Amino acid sequence: MSKRDFLSTADLSRPELDDLLDLAARAKGKRPGQVLAGKTLGLLFFQPSLRTRVSFEVAMVQLGGHCINLSSDDLYELEPEEQAVMDGAAEEHVKDAARTLSRYVDALGIRSAARSGTWAHDRQELLLRSYAKYAGVPVLNLETSFEHPCQALADVLTMRENLVSLKGRRLTLQWCYHPEPKSLGPTHSILQAAAMMGMQVTLAHPLGFEVDAAVLDRSRKLAQEHGGSVQVSNDRQAAARGAEVLYARSWGCTKHWDDAEREAMVKRSLQDWRVDEALMASTQNALLMHPLPVRRNVAATDAVLDGPRSVIYEQAANRTHVQKALLMQLLK
Ligand code: CP
């Protein structure tokens, strides 16, 4: 049997997503036991992480397995391009690293969300896709610039726990100001997953912060197939009105992806794109979601992040449970 990777929310069919969420809910209610005893998950972090790293380690420990964590400081500089003449800084090709690691571990997780070129370059997720191509074991996307599917699984589980049925429910994905350039990963992944759940999604962002056209197109098709919709609004207040879930998150400008100074200039006048009590008051008593880390009182105020409708820590906690389900499906 060929191995199965988990690189994108779009890798899942709706029945597979439902099965995964049901398994996660069961794993949350009652620990599944040592079903992955003797298994090892290799985690490769090329960027910092708090939630992803800890929740995967905890998931593996609860299932009786182990994790090995490596950061970019531990690894040789890697070459992902095919047929590269490796006379630059890269000491090792991903092909060799992936094939070697596959002899040691049972699955590999990769976080690689750095900006390393234009959007046309980074949207290809070269490092992750190269690992997936050459590894003989399942590869999991722990966030690229393009997708963060494990986060989206936790987000959908959190919404399902709070709203029960998601079909037809109103979700606003609200762009927020952030002084640093951010990945589109969490936004792309939850957009597609919410569309697959048949939600009515409004994507709210300032002009110039459009998401990837292929992801938007795929999300609209998924929504249509599952009885939902995807709309885009450049009006933050109109987009929040009547929302049942307000999901706050900043993301980068794909047009100026390789020019952080230009992006910072474009964003200078957008500091009012912040989630505060006034914005939340215009919603339909919406849940407040954010994948974290969050810039408090920049992206969203303390009052809403610490408020009664905030489920930000439930989202973070659910990372462990959805990842346990994912690991059991891939490794058992
Ligand atoms: N949400 C999330 O992936 O958090 P970390 O960057 O801390 O892993």
Same-domain status, 169 and 308: yes
Q: Please choose from 58, 112, 143, 295 the residue to mutate so as to test ligand 1's pocket, defined by most ligand atoms within 8 A of CB.
A: 143
Q: What is the pLDDT of residue 155?
A: 98
Same-domain status, 141 and 157: no
Same-domain status, 137 and 13: yes
Residue ranges in the chain modelled with pLDDT below 70: 1-2
Same-domain status, 159 and 307: yes
Of all protein residues, the one whose alpha carbon is nearest to atom 3 of ligand 1 is 52
Same-domain status, 45 and 158: no
Question: CATH number for the domain including 272?
Answer: 3.40.50.1370
Question: What is the number of domains present in the chain?
Answer: 2
pLDDT tens digit sequence for 110-142: 999 889 899 999 999 999 999 999 999 999 999
Prior bond of 48 cis (ω within 30°) = no
C-alpha–C-alpha distance, residues 125 and 144, integer Å = 7
Q: Tell how far the Cα of 119 is from the centroid of ligand 1, in angstroms.
A: 21
Q: What is the pLDDT of residue 207?
A: 97
Same-domain status, 170 and 57: no
Ligand 1 closest atom vs CA 291: 1
Same-domain status, 172 and 156: yes
Q: Tell how far the Cα of 85 is from the centroid of ligand 1, in angstroms.
A: 34
Ligand 1 pocket member 292 (CB < 6 A): yes
pLDDT tens digit sequence for 59-102: 999 999 999 999 988 889 999 999 999 999 999 999 999 999 99
- Residues 266/177, Cβ–Cβ less than 8 Å: no
Ligand 1 pocket member 51 (CB < 6 A): yes
Same-domain status, 134 and 196: no
Same-domain status, 106 and 183: no
Q: What is the pLDDT of residue 114?
A: 85
Q: What is the pLDDT of residue 260?
A: 93
Is 2 contained in some domain?
A: no
Is 1 contained in some domain?
A: no
Q: What is the domain extent for residue 13?
A: 9-148+319-331
